[in-house]
Structure 1
Amino acid sequence: MARYEEVSVSGYEEFTQVVEQHSGKTIFAYFSVFIYCQGGEKPYWKDPNNDFRKKLELTAVPTLLKYGTPQKLVESECLQADLVGMLFSED
């Protein structure tokens, strides 16, 4: 099995430094924004009128959503690699 190295950077300067450090190797770069958001205390989350339920139409946690689209994975769907892959793929 081929070996790979995973590197996480922040900002263009760090990106270019890591690219230079790995000169001569095949490099894949993945750019995205992830927001980790806690839904609040249990009483707030259970309230059917909370903003997450009303404005984002969340029905359960965990939920992984592609903001601005109707695409989302709910509860155990978040653990299915094929579904997560489809959510992140561009059509």
Structure 2
Amino acid sequence: MSKYEEVSVHGYEEFCQAVANRKGKDIFAYFSGDKDASGNSWCPDCVKAEPVVRGEMGHLPEDSVFIYCQVGERAYWKDPNNDFKKTLKLTGVPTLLRYGTPQKLVEEECFKSELVRMMFTED
């Protein structure tokens, strides 16, 4: 039994719902480009970062929540007015953030296991 909860969502509305349902919890969110039927994302950096992030998830704090969020197709992501960019102020995928704090890793930073581990272990 893992000590954290993992939730997979697709799109901004589902992300907001997942966060709302877990108020008061320590939430880590990982944003990635959509995956196709064979499980491949259109975002090459997301493909490279996911195993690194997943490899460090054992360091997630007890009772925390890890939300894996697919942001949509490439065309939607490229739209500067998409909800992720406008409301959450995301600048790139992959992004790993500690929800409600300024802590975030963007793009190549997600390739570095030591940075991911620090995000999961430091208050």
Give the TM-score of the pair, scaled to structure 2. Answer: 0.49
1:27-59 Cα distance to aligned partner (Å, 9 max, x none): xx8331011110111111101011100111111
- Corresponding residue of 1:42: 74
User: Which of 2, 20, 35 is the matching residue for 1:8?
Assistant: 2
Say whether residues 1:31 and 2:63 are aligned partners.
yes
Secondary structure of the equivalent of 1:34? Answer: strand
Q: Identity of counterpart residues, as a percentage? A: 66
- Corresponding residue of 2:100: 68
> Paired residues, what number?
68
Provide closer, same or farther for how the CA distance between residues 10 and 79 of structure 1 changes in structure 2, counting only shifts above 3 A. closer
User: Which of 84, 91, 102 is the matching residue for 1:59?
Assistant: 91
CA RMSD, 1 decimal:
2.3
Give the TM-score of the pair, scaled to structure 1. Answer: 0.64
Give 1 or 2 for the bigger CA radius of gyration.
1
**d(CA) in 2 for partners of 1:66 and 1:42?**
24
Structure 2: segments with no counterpart, 5+ residues: 6-60
Structure 1: segments with no counterpart, 5+ residues: 1-6, 12-28
**d(CA) in 2 for partners of 1:9 and 1:66?**
17
Higher strand share: 2
Shift of 1:9: 6.7
**d(CA) in 1 for partners of 2:4 and 2:90?**
30
- Corresponding residue of 2:31: none
Say whether residues 1:84 and 2:116 are aligned partners.
yes
